[in-house]
């Protein structure tokens, strides 16, 4: 069907997007073809509900909606990250996993932290267990219903072999010239940094990574500044509601990556909850006050 949809220089092509960043990328990629490019947002077209469960379905929904509304050939894309160990997630929901940034766009660092949490949740720790791919699908649609689908997938070249495990800070190691992948963990929860470094023959290469995390100690108290209550069970949930850390004791020290969490404390059959925002480098104690305001079951009365 590809030969039935033809665009020539000067032809109008509707880009089925309301995203300014994606529009700029499309215009840069398509500039050499001399097309009259206009976006669905610029035309004031409604945004269709992306109800598909595959990249092809969502690309089709957007392309055909724009083509019908504008009575013009339209191009739409749908893309995302699929990780094998977590059932292909986030997949078509990649943008939803990212959430919104303070500036209104997508914060994909949040999304990557959710992927990391999910991988840790299923015990995927080796490169082979963490394989995934980035998928992109384009749909070129005509108002009469004709379409052309283009699919692309970027996958890793292969598993990286583990060279040296458990390298301590300020350790000097001997490596052949080449590119190496460094994985740095801070604490045992979700503070993980990954980076590639290039080693040149005969030169000392210093690799420095900066963790966006903080050391926090949780404690349950009857009043602000009070003594920590013993025999407390702790759960820390990430923004998606997944439990990423469990602990028991009056004090629960841990390292958490920068982000938003919900802390759950259980003591004597009572459950208390507190929202927590972790800022990089801001270490300290976090008090959960055992009161009606923080109790999940306030009707039962405080201890």
Catalytic residues: 78
Pairing of strands 233-237, 243-248: antiparallel
CB 23 within 8 A of CB 41: yes
Helix ranges (DSSP H) in the chain = 20-30, 55-70, 94-98, 108-121
| C-alpha triplet 215, 219, 220: angle, nearest 5° | 155
Residue 93 contacts by C-beta under 8 Å, 6 or more apart in sequence?
Answer: 80
Using CA atoms, how far residue 75 sits from 26, 31, 32, 59, 209, in Å, is 10, 15, 16, 8, 41
d(C-alpha 27, C-alpha 82), whole Å: 26
Q: In the chain, what is the greatest distance between 2 CA atoms, to the nearest angstrom?
A: 76
Beginning with the edge strand found earlier in the chain, give each strand of the sheet holding 147-154 in spatial order.
36-39, 12-15, 74-83, 132-141, 147-154
d(C-alpha 154, C-alpha 178), whole Å: 23
Using CA atoms, how far residue 194 sits from 37, 107, 116, 198, in Å, is 38, 18, 11, 14
Tokens of 185: 């963990």
d(C-alpha 268, C-alpha 3), whole Å: 71
């Amino acid at each position: 069907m590809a030969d039935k949809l033809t665009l020539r220089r000067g032809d109008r092509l509707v880009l089925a997007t309301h995203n300014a960043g994606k529009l700029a990328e499309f215009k840069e990629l398509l500039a050499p073809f001399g097309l009259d490019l206009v976006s669905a947002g610029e035309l004031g077209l409604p945004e269709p509900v992306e109800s598909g469960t595959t990249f092809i379905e969502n690309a089709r929904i957007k392309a055909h909606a724009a083509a019908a509304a504008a009575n013009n050939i339209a191009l739409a894309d749908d893309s995302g990250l699929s990780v094998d160990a977590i059932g292909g997630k986030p997949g078509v929901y990649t943008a939803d996993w990212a959430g919104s940034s303070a500036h209104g766009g997508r914060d994909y660092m949040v999304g990557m932290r959710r992927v990391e949490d999910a991988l840790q949740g299923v015990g995927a720790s080796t490169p082979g267990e963490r394989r995934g791919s980035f998928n992109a699908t384009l749909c070129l649609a005509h108002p009469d219903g004709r379409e052309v689908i283009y699919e692309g997938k970027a996958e890793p070249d292969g598993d990286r072999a583990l060279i040296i495990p458990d390298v301590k800070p300020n350790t000097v190691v001997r490596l052949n010239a080449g590119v190496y992948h460094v994985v740095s963990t801070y604490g045992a929860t979700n503070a993980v940094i990954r980076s590639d470094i290039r080693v040149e023959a005969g030169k000392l290469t210093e690799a420095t990574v900066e963790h966006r995390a903080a050391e926090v100690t949780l404690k349950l108290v009857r009043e602000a500044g009070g003594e920590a209550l013993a025999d407390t069970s702790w759960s820390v949930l990430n923004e998606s509601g997944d439990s990423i850390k469990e602990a028991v004791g009056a004090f629960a020290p841990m390292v958490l990556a920068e982000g938003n969490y919900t802390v759950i404390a259980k003591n004597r059959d009572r459950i208390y909850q507190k929202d927590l925002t972790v800022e990089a480098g801001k270490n300290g104690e976090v008090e959960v006050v055992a009161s009606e305001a923080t109790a999940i079951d306030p009707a039962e009365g405080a201890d």
